[in-house]
Amino acid sequence: MQTSKSSRRVERKRVLLGTDPIINVSVLLLTGIGILLVYAATRDWFAANGQDPEYYLKRQLLNVIIGLALAYGVTLIDYRLLRAYTPIIWGLGVLGLLLVLIPGVGSIVNGARSWISFPGGFQIQPAEIAKLTIIVGMALILAERDAGAKHPTDRQVLYSLLVAAVPILLIVAQPDLGTVLIISASVIAIIATSGAKLRWVIGLIVLGISGAYLAVVSGEVSEYQLNRLRSFVDPFADPQATGYQLRQARITIGSGGLFGKGLFEGPQTNGRFVPEQQTDFIFTVAGEELGFLGSSLILILYLLILMRAFAIARRSNEIFGRIVTVGVIAWFSFQIFQNIGMTMGLMPMTGVPLPFLSYGGSSMFANMIGIGLLQNVYQRSR
């Protein structure tokens, strides 16, 4: 009894040591900065309304703790277990995506029906679960090969695409085009990494572009989203709504200058001139209060995680780990680029949160599980 307990402790210690420390530190720093920024974005606002100014701080802290636990949990999972659970989780994710489309179950936020609300103010976003299950599910299918086979068969590619297509179509229906864009990028990266024939990759890219075009033409893209696109092109076109938001975001970041206004000291942030500051526009808080130096630090931390992830992908000697890693990289990097790019006017407005920084449980958990997957592959490749 005594020995088995101590041996387990040793085992755990080994496991934790067997993770990439740079990723660990970067993620911890980012979530720490994120908690502070969420607090900075909400404390004055809540205090002014007579509510607990630390409300968001506490909730985000809890999100991070749960997220870290999930990440740690994922590092422990045997890949064979993944094989068993992934279809179930994928199914749950698809079910969730179906549920959000039912009026009364899914709640509309920013024009997209993407949340399931539970009593007590608890909400989950099935699309986040879908991201994970698509990456793992596709990897499982594509990695399955006969000994010596260098690339997946066309049938495998088709199956894997089917795994991705079902959730993607459901997310298109919400419509949450930001998430569609991110998942599509991951899908293409995964297919490319799997060693599938080049025509698959090219075909998917063409499909993605023409799909986007058709969506706009056929009216699948709502007026709401078109407005977002228009105000991206000309932020003054619709000064009250999205154009306003984008302009405010840009001004808020720009006014930070080199050193920023100091944490909690940003007048734009404290005046809440940028809507959704603690979620999708959290980077504006960093821009204003931490300035170019602080914002650059955030970008560098992201870059560190991504570069370490590439190293993991390269070092991994099994195709499954490599595909999962590249899938996660594509997901993270596109989501980061989409979100920060949006706040700085490089990308049109979509409602995707910034990994590790934005307030919110679902995305935090999904991101942390993504990190867990990276570390899992890292361990396996040692």
Partner 1 sequence: MRDRTSTAVLVAQVFVISLMIALFGRLFYLQIADGPRYQEAALDIQSRDIVTPALRGLIVDISGEKLATNKAGLMVTADRSILDQQNDDGKVVLERVSQILKLEFSDVFARTRLCGELPKEERNGCWTGNRYQPIPITKEATEEQVLKIVERSDQFPGIGAEPVSIRNYPSKSDERATHILGYVGPITEDDLNNELGKKYYRNELVGKAGIELQYDEALRGTPGVRTVIVNNKESVTRESKNIAPIPGNHLVLNINAKLQAAVEKELRDSVFRARANGYRGDSGAAVVMDLKGRVLAMASYPDYDLNIWENGITVRQAKELYSERSGVPALSRAIQGSFAPASAFKVVSLAAAGAANYNLANTYNCPSEVTFGDRTFRNYDSKPAGRINLVTAMAISCDSIWYQIAYDEWVRDGGLKPKPNPNDNFFKAAAGFGVGKRTGIDLPSEVKGRLPDREWKKSWYSRNKEFFCDYQARAQKSQLTPYLIALARENCLDGDRVRAGDMVNFSIGQGDVLMTPIQMAVMYGAIANGGNLMKPKIARAIVSPTNRVIKEMEPEVTGKLTVPDSTLELLKRSLRAVVTSGTARGVFSGLQAEVSGKTGTGQVFGRNLDGSAKDDTSWFASYAPAKKPKYVVVMMVSQGGFGATTSGAGVRRIYEYIFGENGKKAIFPNGPVSEIPTIDSKTS
Please, what is the minimum distance in Å from the beta carbon of residue 144 to partner 1?
15
Contact 299, 115 (CB under 8 A): no
Please spell the DSSP secondary structure of 237-249, one letter per residue.
Answer: SSTTTHHHHHHHH
Please, what is the minimum distance in Å from the beta carbon of residue 195 to partner 1?
5
Closest CB to partner 1 among 306 and 349? 306
Please, what is the minimum distance in Å from the beta carbon of residue 150 to partner 1?
4
Closest CB to partner 1 among 116 and 190? 190
**Residues 6 or more apart whose Cβ sits within 8 Å of residue 305:** 22, 23, 26, 27, 30, 332, 371
Closest CB to partner 1 among 170 and 340? 340
Please, what is the minimum distance in Å from the beta carbon of residue 197 to partner 1?
9
d(CA 165, CA 235) in angstroms, rounded, equals 33
Closest CB to partner 1 among 114 and 284? 284
d(CA 163, CA 243) in angstroms, rounded, equals 36
**Residues 6 or more apart whose Cβ sits within 8 Å of residue 92:** 129
Q: Helix-strand-coil percent breakdown of the chain, rounded to 5?
A: 70, 5, 25
Backbone angles phi, psi at 58, to 5 degrees: -65, -45
Output the six-digit token pair for 198.
Answer: 């080049």
Please, what is the minimum distance in Å from the beta carbon of residue 257 to partner 1?
5
SS (H, E, C) 254-306: HCCCCCCCCCCCCHHHHCCCCCCCCCCCHHHHHHHHHHHHHHHHHHHHHHHHH
Please, what is the minimum distance in Å from the beta carbon of residue 286 to partner 1?
10
Closest CB to partner 1 among 256 and 361? 256
Please, what is the minimum distance in Å from the beta carbon of residue 314 to partner 1?
6
Closest CB to partner 1 among 121 and 148? 148
CA atoms within 13 A on the CB side of 294: 23
User: Exposed/middle/buried for 369, CB within 10 Å: 0-12, 13-18, 19+?
Assistant: buried
Closest CB to partner 1 among 4 and 317? 317
Please, what is the minimum distance in Å from the beta carbon of residue 180 to partner 1?
18
Backbone angles phi, psi at 367, to 5 degrees: -60, -45
Please, what is the minimum distance in Å from the beta carbon of residue 191 to partner 1?
9
Residues 371, 54, 56, 278: what is their CA dihedral angle, to the nearest 10 degrees? Answer: -90
Output the six-digit token pair for 186.
Answer: 């991951």
Closest CB to partner 1 among 84 and 198? 198
Binding positions for partner 1, rule: CB under 8 A? 44, 48, 150-151, 189, 192-195, 198, 248, 250-258, 267-268, 270-273, 287, 291-292, 295-296, 299, 302-303, 306-307, 310, 313-314, 319, 322, 326, 329-330, 333-334, 336-337, 340-341, 344-346
Closest CB to partner 1 among 114 and 295? 295
